[in-house]
Amino acid sequence: EDQVTQSPEALRLQEGESSSLNCSYTVSGLRGLFWYRQDPGKGPEFLFTLYSAGEEKEKERLKATLTKKESFLHITAPKPEDSATYLCAVEGGSEKLVFGKGTKLTVNP
């Protein structure tokens, strides 16, 4: 059974304080690892897809990396508007998307 574990559950940062979110996964036949951002009262918003170990993708202050067992979402010099819940998900051979429970990020000004 595909599984995704995200850590930490919650993270508080000061504006400009860089950090990383972790996503550990087990999956049979990885077809894609996804990062989404979810703001309160809204549906998740797509950030990145990673397909194979060693792959990296960047967007503004965010950078996602992938190994065979985990993915990291690095946040460089975060701003208050980066506050949100970040969700990691994997799609394997079952073609069902399995989500982690998310990391709630708060960036204080």
Partner 1 sequence: KAGVTQTPRYLIKTRGQQVTLSCSPISGHRSVSWYQQTPGQGLQFLFEYFSETQRNKGNFPGRFSGRQFSNSRSEMNVSTLELGDSALYLCASSLGGTGEKLFFGSGTQLSVL
Amino acid at 21: L
Q: How many Cβ atoms are within 10 Å of 81's Cβ, its own excluded?
A: 9
- Asked if residue 31 binds partner 1 (CB under 8 A), the reply is yes
Beta strands of the chain (E only): which ranges? 3-7, 10-14, 19-26, 32-38, 45-50, 56-59, 62-66, 70-75, 84-91, 97-99, 103-108
Between 17 and 45, name the residue whose CB sits nearer to partner 1: 45
Residue of the chain from 18, 94, 106, 108 that contacts partner 1 (CB under 8 A)? 94
Q: How many Cβ atoms are within 10 Å of 100's Cβ, its own excluded?
A: 21
What distance in Å separates the CA atoms of residue 43 and residue 45, rounded to the nearest whole number? 6
Residue of the chain from 11, 22, 32, 70 that contacts partner 1 (CB under 8 A)? 32
- Asked if residue 101 binds partner 1 (CB under 8 A), the reply is yes
- Asked if residue 100 binds partner 1 (CB under 8 A), the reply is yes
- Asked if residue 42 binds partner 1 (CB under 8 A), the reply is yes
Identify residues 61-80 at the interface with partner 1 (CB under 8 A).
none
Q: For binding to partner 1 (CB under 8 A), which residues are involved? A: 31-32, 34, 36, 41-46, 49, 51, 87, 89, 91, 94-102
